[in-house]
Amino acid sequence: MSTPIVQMSNVFKRYRALTALEDINLTLNQDKIYGLLGRNGAGKTTLMSILTAQGFASSGHVNVFGENPYENEKVLRRICFIRESQKYPDDFHAKHAFKAAALFYKNWDNDFALQLVKDFELPLNRRIKKLSRGQLSAVGVIIGLASRAELTFFDEPYLGLDAVARQLFYDRLLDDYAEFPRTIVLSSHLIDEVANLLEHVIIIDKGKIILDDDADNIRGSALTVSGTGARVESFIGNRTVLHREGIGALVSITLEGQLSAGERREAQELGLDVSPVSLQQFVIRKTLDAGAGLEFDAESQAKQTKKATRMGAIR
């Protein structure tokens, strides 16, 4: 039932001293909505650039629609990837950008594009250069949606959009996807907002894929048990701990795995509180080393920032 349309094997991307992507192996199937989740600078945009032949891998194989996408119009014409920092010609107004997109996408739906323009209250006759961050994001979102490309990437599409506009985007995406199924990759670090839209989740951290699974398999794959220290500790036994925090005698531990009905009863009898872990919490727990203290967080944050800046500079 699932037809693979994208395959990456052993893909590396190195910049002098920095490894931006490390041994990426990935398959994307037709007509699914994927979430490409991870922190800023984790390698999301680099990965999408390589898939769309906008960027180049240092080594490894990339196969899209059965072929190498590089300089391959047969493959490229079925792909749309407007990046978060997309540049437009200096003299272009939003309407020019849509006209251009209409030239290249055979499924371009101009009525849909105009409807979205109205929805997002986007000024068509203003230079793109003069648009606000949110309006700029809206231009990208509209091209991505109205192009109806078989493989569409949305790169942090919500930047600068307010809550109403973001909800609008998610709703339009779902509606249109239901009517015209296609493969969609949504890159995001606002995970809770998009979690329910996703069928499959890929989590990337420091250039490596650390999780690649159906969203529904992940949901409920971790939980938090809290209560008095000794009781919690004895209850969890030797399960995999993702995170541990405490205040006074109270301890709250995030576990990987599920509880059986019997274990739930046991937890209740011990007076322990069992609560679900959201996808966002799960990603945070997975991308920060388990049980790490605050100092470590600050340190890794600093590293991450440095990395992001360097990547920006190299790009």
Partner 1 sequence: MNRAVAVARMQLINKWTFLGIPALILLSSFALTLAIWAMIPDTAEGAKYSGAGQAVMWYFFALGLQSMSLTFPFSQGLSISRRNFFLGTVGLFAVVAAVVSGLYVVLGYLETATHGWGLNGQMFALQWIAKQNGFMQMFFYFVLMMFLFLLGFWGATVYKRWQATGMLLACIALAVVLVGAVGLITWRGWWPAVGSWMAAQTPGTTGLLALGLAALLGAGAYLTLRKATP
Partner 2 sequence: MIDDSRPIFLQIAQLIENDIVDGVLAEEAQVPSTNEFAAFHRINPATAAKGVNRLVDDGILYKRRGIGMFVATGARAVLITRRREDFYEQFVRPLAREALKLGIDGEQLAAMLAREPGAASLRDVQQKEGAI
Rounded least distance, CB 100 to partner 1, Å: 5
Give the position of tokens 């792909």: 79
At 60, list the tokens. Answer: 């490894």
Please identify, among the stretches 83-91, 177-185, 263-271, 280-288, the one whose residues bind partner 1 according to the rule CB under 8 A: 83-91
What's the min distance (Å) between Cβ of 196 and partner 2?
4
261 binds, among partner 2, partner 1, none (CB under 5 to 8 A by kind): partner 2
Nearest to partner 2 of 80, 198 (CB atom):
198
**Using CB distances below 5 to 8 A depending on partner kind, what does residue 220 bind out of partner 1, partner 2, none?**
partner 2
Which of partner 1, partner 2, none has residue 198 at its interface (CB below 5 to 8 Å by kind)?
Answer: partner 2
Tell the smallest beta-carbon distance from residue 182 to partner 1 (Å): 14
The tokens describing 128, both together, are 């793109």
- List interacting residues with partner 2 (CB under 8 A): 32-33, 170-171, 174-175, 177-179, 195-199, 215-217, 219-220, 261, 265, 268-269, 275-279
Q: Is 86 in the site for partner 1 (CB under 8 A)?
A: yes
Q: Helix/strand/coil (H, E, C) string of 183-198?
A: EEEEEECCHHHHHHHC
| Strands of the 250-256 sheet, one edge to the other | 241-247, 250-256, 222-228, 273-276
Residue 216 touches which of partner 2, partner 1, none (Cβ within 5-8 Å per kind): partner 2
Residues 217 and 260 sit within 8 Å (Cβ to Cβ): no
Choose among partner 1, partner 2, none what residue 215 binds, the Cβ cut-off being 5 to 8 Å by kind.
partner 2
Binding-site partner at residue 277 among partner 2, partner 1, none, CB < 5 to 8 Å by type: partner 2
- Going by C-beta distance under 8 Å and a sequence separation of 6 or more, which residues neighbour residue 217? none
Rg (CA), the chain: 22
Site for partner 1 (CB under 8 A): which residue of 9, 10, 56, 214? 56
* Binding flag, residue 228, partner 1 (CB under 8 A): no
Distance (Å) of CA 143 to CA 87, 120, 130, 135, 158: 13, 13, 18, 13, 14
Query: How much helix, strand and coil, in percent to the nearest 5, is found in the chain?
Result: 40, 30, 30
Q: Minimal distance in Å, beta carbon 193 to partner 1?
A: 24
Site for partner 1 contains 315 (CB under 8 A)? yes
CB atoms within 10 A of CB 125: 8
**Binding window for partner 1 (CB under 8 A); candidates: 81-89, 210-218, 236-244, 290-298:** 81-89
Choose from partner 1, partner 2, none: what does 55 bind? Cβ within 5-8 Å by kind.
partner 1
* Residues 6+ away with beta carbon under 8 Å from 19: 12, 13, 207
Does residue 51 interact with partner 1 by CB under 8 A? no
Residue 103 in the binding site for partner 1 (CB under 8 A): yes
Q: In whole angstroms, give the CA distance from residue 7 to residue 258.
A: 31
d(CA 197, CA 100): 29
Among 38, 45, 49, 57, binds partner 1 (CB under 8 A): 49
CA–CA distance from 265 to each of 12, 117, 234, 235, 315 (Å)?
A: 47, 53, 15, 12, 54
Residue 149 interacting with partner 1 (CB under 8 A):
yes
**Interacting residue ranges for partner 1, rule: CB under 8 A:** 49, 52, 54-56, 71-73, 76-83, 86-93, 96-97, 99-101, 103-105, 143, 149, 315
